[in-house]
Amino acid sequence: MKVTIKETISRCRTAGLRRTKALEELLATLLESPRPMTLSELASSDRLTEQCDKATVFRLLQRLTEHGVIRRLGLHERAAYFTLILPGKHSDYLICTSCGSIEPIKAPCPVHQLEDEIREKTGYKNLYHELEFFGVCPQCA
């Protein structure tokens, strides 16, 4: 299922966010990226360098995170990575505690069954989880 920029902007509008060119370009950049991106990577991307400054990108990322449109990943003392939360798509991540690199886990998620059980037993709606594993990557080991 390929999520479009139009669908993503619609989610933002539903969340109460104002549609701007900078918002559109930020979302398009994240949609096109094969991996989560840092603030610096986003601010210096081809789509955003002409559109807005780093502070504007930071403020957009904060608002998108607060409204559940994007997910902030990474170690607190290192640069954060940002990725879109896509309906019906789920990714878990490996994060290196030495260099801060991040990559999606290419294995079935072990928590989906537990999530279904919790939803059934508690009655929670829109239940989701975020899973991040931390360790030292092969390059740093």
Q: For residue range 63-87, what is the model confidence (pLDDT) as tens digits?
A: 999 998 999 987 766 778 999 988 7
- Rounded CA-CA distance 136/141 in Å is 6
Looking at every residue in the chain, the average pLDDT score rounds to 88
CATH 1.10.10.10: which residues of the chain? Answer: 1-87
Residue 107 has a pLDDT of: 84
Dig out the tokens for 45 from the structure.
């991307």
Non-local (6+) Cβ contacts of 72 within 8 A are 61, 65, 80, 81, 82
Question: Class assignment of domain 90-141?
Answer: alpha beta
Q: For residue range 37-73, what is the model confidence (pLDDT) as tens digits?
A: 999 999 999 989 988 999 999 999 999 999 989 999 8
- Rounded CA-CA distance 140/100 in Å is 10
Residue 2 has a pLDDT of: 67
CATH, range 1-87: 1.10.10.10
Q: Which whole number is the average pLDDT over 118-127? A: 89
CATH 3.30.1490.190: which residues of the chain? Answer: 90-141
Please count the other Cβ atoms lying within 10 Å of the Cβ belonging to residue 81: 22
